[in-house]
Structure 1
Amino acid sequence: MQRVSPTSTIWRTIVSKARKNVFFINDPFAARSFSAVPVVAAAKKLHQPEIPSDFQKWGSVGFCRTSKFASGFNPLQPKPLDSIVDVHRLKDRYPEDIASVWDDYHIGRGHIGATMKAKLYHLLEHRASECRYFVIPLWRGSGYTTMFVQVQTPHMIFTGLEDYKARGTQAAPYFTLTFYTEFAESKDLVLIRGDVVFTSKLTDPEAKWLLETAQSFYLNDARYKLVERFNRQTHDFEFKDVLQVLDMPIL
């Protein structure tokens, strides 16, 4: 478990490091989720576009639900929305029905399913373009583990702060989110899919809490000021302010 640093030096170092070592590149596979597939199967798909090198860093640690680093998997395999649900059949359904189908699909499947209004997604997208990084404490019993968050819509990645400090872009993601915008214009609805990468490090309930909490920091005006401070006035950022907002004790 971690304690609050008495100075802001650590945050300046982390933000500076993050800006130099971005998890993502400009993603040509927008609005997609990812899964790992065996190398043998991938060999049959050589005609598909090459996956950018930055994604291979994540593929090398196995982008799948497992309790340890995976081996024998190829770089990340893009997973379009129509491979998860029948997009054509949903086009004529009401937004409430689509949200219900999406939620039901993810029940008991080891993933997190959620939805949000398109207007809120666009606000998150705008704010994340200006303030990409943040830190969120995850309470566990008698203390907390700090998660490092990076947003580059339509993706959001969570990893342990200590892992990121030690490994940079080679740090394994604990939890990933993908925002699907196929119904944003026609239904005012954005679908969200979360994947817990390492179940030994993060439970599904914890992942759901992180999803909701991360959204609150980008969508709530008062909380977003802390995100701005972390990215723009790092020397003024105090981690204890985040703890207080989340009603967590300062250890």
Structure 2
Amino acid sequence: MASCSRIIGLVRNTAPLHNYTRFSLTQFRGFRTTAIMSEEQIEELKQNPYYSKYADKIAKLQNTSPEEFLGRLSAHDERKKAVAAAAPENQRDFSFPGRPMPKMSADTSGEKSLEKIMKVDLLRDKTPEEITEIWTKFFAKQEKICAVIPAETYKIMQQRFSEFKTFLFPIPRKNGYEFVMVQFLNNEAHFTTLINFQAHKENAPECLGMVHYTELMEDKGIVLMVGEYDKDTLGEGEAHLLAIQTLRYFGQNNDKLLNHLYRFTYDITDFNHLDLIAQLESDFPQSVLPAGPA
């Protein structure tokens, strides 16, 4: 079921980011591993279709940081067991790299049109409240999230999308938090898990894509948003939480949130990922944070 609400109110240099994120993700995973791989683990690893491609990197990691290597392998085993046991979805674990997206040609980045979803002319004589109801009902039975955003709020968001083109958001996971990277392109927001970005860079698969339709921005004073998420990576609640964080950081006049954006973009050495987690826990009590899909 869609989650729709009326809201009131390319990639940067990642060398420093890569170093700190590797630390933060492994820290929150809470790995507990043995010092030796079993023969079964070694054989299973070699059967992985990506083994030959990354064999050198795997060997290097195994030699230079065996605990981290074993930790990743152990977490992978835990994920497989969880899937096999049909673990409850509200205990979603950390993500692992997926398959890269195919490279897109240069002529596929055109603006999305609201006309392809519904007839815009039929909305011209409707009030913003009526359009909100129509938009909500349209996605009610689809596995998507949607929202109706006031034009004045979205104007702020547009300006910040342009200045702060990339950012991170935390989402709660079974044993801590996982970070999701977002990149803005015109009126679109493209989300991918940080570990996928580190593995595939610009070809990282999306876990959430949001489009903001501005056709009614001037005469109706609203912007229509719809987001489609990868159900293997996110639940509806987690997708909705990412949308809400996007609104708060990019659409509200909050100096503290703006400072997070500024440090991430202009002063990465002063940026601390733990500040984002603290901010999330402050904004949303733990009891209402989604632990997984609805």
The match for 1:207 among 239, 250, 254 is 239
Which structure: larger Rg? Answer: 2
Gaps of at least 5 residues in structure 1 are: 1-7, 15-54, 60-74
Find out whether 1:141 has 2:174 as its counterpart. yes
1:11 aligns with 2:17: yes
Please state whether the residue corresponding to 2:231 is helix, strand or coil.
coil
Q: Given that residues 11 and 230 in structure 1 are in contact (C-alpha distance below 8 angstroms), is that contact kept between their aligned partners in structure 2?
A: no
SS in 2 for 1:115: strand
Does the C-alpha gap of structure 1 residues 240 and 9 become closer, same or farther in structure 2, counting only changes over 3 Å?
farther
2:215 aligned partner, one-letter code: E
Give runs of aligned pairs for residues 19-168 of structure 1, distance below 5 A. 57=103, 80-168=113-201
1:56 CA drift (Å): 6.3
Aligned equivalents of 2:212, 2:19: Cα separation in 1: 29
Whole-Å separation in 2 of the counterparts to 1:181 and 1:106: 18
CA contact under 8 A between 1:56 and 1:76: conserved in structure 2?
no
Aligned-pair CA distance for 1:247: 1.2
1:169-206: per-residue Cα shift (whole Å, max 9, x none)?
Answer: 0110110000000000001000001011x211111221
Q: How many residues align?
A: 187
The one-letter amino acid paired with 1:149 is V
Contact kept in structure 1, 2:102 and 2:203, CA below 8 Å: no
So what's the TM-score if we normalise by structure 1? Answer: 0.68
Aligned to 2:276: 242
Cα shift at 1:207: 0.7
More helix by share: 2
Report the counterpart of residue 176 of structure 1 in structure 2: 209
- Alpha-carbon displacement from aligned partner over 1:193-235 (angstroms, at most 9, x marks no partner): 1011x21111122111111111111123221210111001111
Q: Which one of the candidate residues 259, 265, 271 is aligned to 1:231?
A: 265
Find the aligned partners of 2:268 and 2:102 in 1 and give their Cα distance. 31
Distance 2:155 2:109 in 1: 26
Residue 192 of structure 1 aligns with an amino acid whose one-letter code is M
**Which residue identity lines up with residue 83 of structure 1 in the other structure?**
K
> How far did residue 126 of structure 1 move?
0.5
The structural deviation recorded for 1:58 is: 5.4
Contact kept, 8 Å, 2:112 with 2:213, in 1: the verdict is: no
The gaps in structure 2 that reach 5 residues or longer are 1-13, 21-100, 287-294
Letter in 2 for 1:239: H
Aligned identity (percent) is 26
1:247/1:58 CA distance change after superposition, 3 Å: farther
